[in-house]
Chain A
Amino acid sequence: MEFAELIKTPRVDGVVLRRPFLPTVEGTLCLTGHHLILSSRQDNTEELWLLHANIDAIEKRFVGSLGTIIVKCKDLRVIQLDIPGMEECLNIASSIEVLSTLDSVSLMYPLFYRPMFQVIEDGWKSFLPEDAFKDLESMTEEWRLSDVNKDYSVCSSYPPLVAVPKDVDDDTLRKAAAFRHGGRFPVLSYYHKKNGMVMMRSGQPLTGTNGRRCKEDEKLINATLRAGKRGYIIDTRTVSVAQQAKARGGGFESEANYPQWRRIHKAIERSSILQESLIKLVEACNDQSHSMDRWLSKLEASNWQTHVKEILTTACLAAQCIDREGASVLVHGTEGTDSTLQVTSLAQIILDPACRTIQGFQALVEREWLQAGHPFQQRCSQSAYSNSKPRCEAPVFLLFLDCVWQILRQFPCSFQFSQHFLVLLFEHTYASQFGTFMGNSASERSKLNLSQKTVSLWSWVNRPQEVERLSNPLYEANCLVIWPSVAPQSLLLWEGVFLRWKRSSRCLDEAYDEMVHIIQYNKELQNKVNNLRRQLGAGEQED
């Protein structure tokens, strides 16, 4: 299929673009295979380059022969195009609709994108499991890297290499995998250097209604406990949801078969409910009525903040078990690809200072989301405006980013990155020129040969100028565990995403610049004073 067939009208003149906080631009609208471009063909005027993949929904309106297309983007921006001529407008609209909903992976933009920047370090090779394991090896000898999944046959959503207890052989792993949802047998997620406790994650056990058990699974997770120690299983579902899962062949670990483990149920919602929540929240933010009662009641009804609180609470619980109780933890929900990852990755943000650096956070996203098999492509194919019926869409990763932002707000000096990094990741999960978030698992990415055919987001992010842009000027390395408050008063609406296009951030940006200025000026002075001191010192010696 050629893109040209899908583009009925490639070019329209005299189109007027209106978008939030920027002056109206009149110019020529062009449609290419991957972009909607509006250019005034004048110098100094900003052009619009919008990825079709970023378009969530469009609306058409006509007044006489003047057509208007409202373009609603996945990054929650809404822009308006006034197009003269009804036919042109209809053509453009239908082309956009087709181009923005192409299902075929082979037509996706990252496969066509050629970087305009020099790749210094290939992001595809920046965070290999082998390298991560080297760090672990330096701390403990109790774990090994198993290639039991090297051809993705044991678990299709796991990477080829996973860390497992040293004493457990691959055969045991295979049997345990057969007992876990999606073959997701318990693997190492995090090793807490301070006390040697670990966090593992998996899919639910397939106990079914008649309480099946699996000796290998029991052996596998018991192998992670020290003698006489107990561990905690954190099931991200409520007891009743977990009970219901039994009817569909799932279930949870019974006390009888796992006597060394204490099970705790939490209440993180399933992905379909999260999608609905996002839609409601964005709708509340777009409400024009300007009534306080309505806003607060819609915000409450969206339940978004409730989800943030629930996820953070569960992550704190996991971190507490490890750091305070000195116990190992196994986290799972149903599939082990959504709420489980939210919990394990946030717990690491809390516990591990390395995850709060720019590199470390990338490594965390790579390890706990991409390698761990979060189905990004399914979850992020539609955002809050889409009219089509959601299939597997859910803002699972966005909620994780929101939670990180909440912790960042509470510990503004403990993160090497600013919220810009989180917003950037949000944008790129939904629409990107990079291949990082394509596909649903390591196996899919490897089949598509993405590391050869596309550029990694990390290649872009780790260039010095981008690192500087994403850096938090307040950062001072903090080696402590950071416990966030989960009181409703402490959790705020993430303005940087949800109100980004609703109100000008000029004043807040200016405040940020002022802060940067204060800190930079201080550093300059420090350098000057040190230089002078050195000069004076040298002068003295000469004397």
Chain B
Amino acid sequence: MEHIRLPKVENVRLIDKISSRRASVGTLYLTATHTIFVENETEIRTETWVLHSLVCSVEKQATTTTGSPLLVHCKNYQALRFIIPQERDCHDVHVSLLRLSRPGAQRYEELYCFSFHSNSDKEVRGQAWDFLSLKDEYSRMGVPNHLWILSPVNRDYKVSDTYPAELYVPKSATHPVIVGSSKFRSRGRFPTLSYYCKENHAAICRSSQPLSGFSARCLEDEQMLEAIVRSNPRSDFMYVVDTRPKLNAIANRAAGKGYENEDNYSNIKFQFIGIENIHVMRNSLQKMLEVSEAWSPSMSEFLEGLESSGWLKHIKAVLDAGIFIAKAVAEDGVSVLVHCSDGWDRTAQVCSVASVLLDPYYRTLKGLMVLIERDWVSFGHKFSHRYNHLDGDPKEVSPVIDQFLECVWQLSEQFPCAFEYNERFLITIHNHIYSCQYGNFIGNNQKERTELRHQEKTHSLWTYLWENRTDHINPLYRPDHSQTQGVLRPVTAPYCFKFWRALYNRFDRGMHPRQSVIDYLMAIREETQQLEEQLVSHEEVRQDRRADDIGYVPNHTLFPISCTTFDQDHLIEVAVLVLVFFLILCSVIHPRK
């Protein structure tokens, strides 16, 4: 509270983005967690709430005769333009918001998740965290088995402090091999299992880059890869995919890092994929946002801006990489090791995109949650750095998981029946990766989160989403639909990629379709469900009446009666049952009687 210089300002104007002539007048409140704007003189009380942790920039502009403009940009692409009558007030709000929106470095305890519903039952909260279990996920994939085992090597985060405690490795990889390999990899991130394909034993493994420099070798690392090849009995080689552009990888050699030399590793095929680094991606998003936020751009300005931002090119690169891996696993039955530099950004993107393509499970609500939990949260994707949760190095910020979510969206546009979740689900996840309202994404790895005791002190997003799943269901999804089955084979010709308006212009409501097909179909489905229930109960009443009239129930109806000839006892039994049923139903349907 000490950061709020001014809790309330009156006669503030909120300017409409589409038409600057329209503005609403109201009162601006600053609370510990939100900025709230309450409109005056409307019949329905209109409120705009902005979470402090979602604010990414606050900008005070030159004062004019009408007042001092304050521009608030949010990480979920909401942009608000306030005009505050007094410059002094504007200054106070500005300073307060700057502090409130960005807790200082390492001040995790100030994050919103630690105060959000903190009084609720601890036990319930703890149980909620058990909703997803990675152990269950690995066993769903079929591990541990005779080829892959759970390794205790990182139990205390000693081998790699950014890896999870529980890791799956080839059975033939001995403890010294794992430790030796980890010493030859950036941040100790040795090759380990990400996805396992039960049907053909091919696996997707992930790691960081090897510390090969210009000529260094590591016997254990070579043995580690050999062990991965051996754990796929149907294939005698594996792919090693370096997701970086070749030039970047070569540059890393000068720093003692680099990539695998095919001559030193037996039975690997090495491949560069060429996804750009986090800095390129950050700038690309920035450029794209300039276009999407521009005030009434022409079509040419928009398309030129979209092109020069390179954003869709990068999305295509990530998707293409995922397709390469999915194809290797599903069609060739070959295992793949994926890495980039540290193995927590591009590697996470590519592994998770490949999983979505390969396994229909990840196209269900729960499956996507588990996938994010596995490939991103557990494997040490640096959420707090990348999404700017605390006041930190701006060069660490980058829209990495955003690109994964967009790849999933692009896929769902090509395969409208294949995904159980809808676009809103992806947007809600995106929102909460930034909002810090839930503890799932705080910190930069499992070790940090455990130290913050997030399971005791915060809520889990996944249980919230699961409880509200009806909002996130795609009505066109059907588990038995041919589109849902098997591997997705998307087309990645450039014209298949669209600008994701629903995310990047999320708050420009005038730009979106005015009628939502999804909402319409959801309403129909809900009604259908009610009709089905009514139909069953009406049918029962009718059958009962008939039974009353003719004394027995035709055998295709309520009770599966196996005998073809009715004996007297059976008939009486049935008649009694029917009578009971009829009475119950009558009382349900016609309560007046």
Contact = CB atoms under 8 A, between A and B. Distances in A.
Interface of A: 285, 290-297, 299-300, 303, 305-306, 308-309, 409-414, 474, 482, 485, 487-493, 499, 502-503, 507-508, 510-511, 514-515, 518-519, 521-522, 525-526, 528-529, 532-533, 535-536, 539
Nearest to B418: A507
A413 B516 CA distance: 8
A493 B520 CA distance: 24
B539 A532 contact: yes
Contacts of A487: 296, 505, 508, 510-511
Interface centre among A292, A410, A499 (most CB of B within 10 A): A292
Contacts of A482: 514
B300 A518 contact: no
Contacts of A309: 298-299
A502 B299 contact: no
A522 B524 contact: yes
Contact of A296 (B307, B416, B528): B307
B59 interface: no
Give 9 closest A-B pairs by Cβ, nearest first. Answer: A295-B494, A488-B302, A511-B416, A296-B307, A300-B303, A292-B313, A525-B531, A532-B538, A306-B299
Contact of B417 (A414, A514, A525): A514
Contacts of B531: 522, 525-526, 528-529
B476 A514 contact: yes
B580 interface: no
17 contacts: A285-B495, A296-B306, A297-B304, A306-B298, A410-B513, A474-B520, A488-B298, A490-B511, A490-B512, A493-B495, A502-B493, A502-B495, A503-B496, A515-B517, A518-B524, A518-B528, A525-B532
Interface string B404-444: 00000000001111100000000000000000000000000
A147 to B, nearest CB: 42
State the main secondary structure of chain B at its contact with A.
helix
Contact of A507 (B296, B297, B416, B513): B416
A172 B418 CA distance: 65
Nearest to A303: B300
Nearest to B414: A507
B497 interface: yes
Contacts of B300: 300, 303, 306
Contacts of B588: none
Given A300-B307, A518-B521, A409 B513 contact: yes
Contacts of B312: 292, 296
A91 to B, nearest CB: 36
A267 B244 CA distance: 46
A270 B307 CA distance: 27
Given A296-B312, A529-B538, A510 B496 contact: no
Contacts of A303: 299-300
Contacts of B514: 410-411, 482
B245 to A, nearest CB: 16
B216 interface: no
**Most B CB atoms within 10 A — which of A290, A519, A522?**
A522
B485 to A, nearest CB: 12
B481 interface: yes
B135 interface: no
Given A290-B493, A489-B292, A507-B415, 11 more contacts: A292-B307, A292-B312, A308-B299, A411-B513, A488-B303, A499-B495, A510-B417, A514-B417, A525-B528, A533-B538, A536-B542
A412 B535 contact: no
Interface string B481-517: 1110000000111111111010011001011111101
A299, A489, A493: which has the most chain B beta carbons within 10 Å?
A: A489
A519 B482 CA distance: 20
A361 to B, nearest CB: 18
A398 B68 CA distance: 49
Interface in B515-564: 515, 517, 520-521, 524-525, 527-528, 531-532, 534-535, 538-539, 541-542, 545
B32 to A, nearest CB: 35
Nearest to B309: A296
Interface of B: 292, 296-304, 306-307, 310, 312-313, 316, 414-418, 475-476, 478, 481-483, 491-499, 501, 504-505, 508, 510-515, 517, 520-521, 524-525, 527-528, 531-532, 534-535, 538-539, 541-542, 545
A532 B542 contact: yes
Contacts of A299: 303, 495
A385 to B, nearest CB: 18
B510 to A, nearest CB: 6
A390 to B, nearest CB: 23
Which of B300, B495, B538, B545 lies at the interface centre, i.e. has the most chain A CB atoms within 10 A of its CB? B495
Nearest to B499: A489
A295 B417 CA distance: 27
A525 B498 CA distance: 37
B494 A291 contact: yes
Contact of B515 (A285, A412, A528): A412
A535 B525 CA distance: 25
Nearest to B492: A290
Nearest to A480: B514
B527 A510 contact: no
A489 B501 contact: yes
Contacts of A492: 498
B298 A515 contact: no
A525 B417 CA distance: 23
A300 B495 contact: no
A515 B474 CA distance: 11
B535 A532 contact: yes
A78 to B, nearest CB: 15
A489 B511 contact: yes
B515 A293 contact: no
Contacts of B508: 487, 489
A296 B304 CA distance: 7
B506 to A, nearest CB: 11
B501 A490 contact: yes
Contacts of B417: 507, 510-511, 514
A474 B515 CA distance: 10
A518 to B, nearest CB: 6
B535 A525 contact: yes
Nearest to B493: A290
B87 to A, nearest CB: 33
A503 B491 CA distance: 8
Contacts of B504: 489
Contacts of B528: 518, 521-522, 525
A292 B538 contact: no
A398 B106 CA distance: 59
A292 B498 CA distance: 11
Contact of B542 (A511, A514, A535): A535
B487 to A, nearest CB: 14
Most chain B beta-carbon neighbours within 10 Å: one of A285, A412, A482: A412
A503 B494 CA distance: 12
Contacts of B310: 292-293
A487 B508 CA distance: 10
Contacts of B482: 510
A515 B476 contact: yes
A531 B524 CA distance: 20
A90 B514 CA distance: 54
Contacts of A489: 292, 302, 499, 501, 504-505, 508, 511
Nearest to B528: A522
Nearest to A478: B515
Nearest to A495: B495
Contacts of A508: 416
A485 B296 CA distance: 11
A296 B494 contact: yes
A357 to B, nearest CB: 16
A306 B310 CA distance: 21
A294 B494 contact: yes
Contact of A412 (B475, B496, B505, B517): B517
Given A299-B303, A529-B534, A533-B538, A518 B525 contact: yes
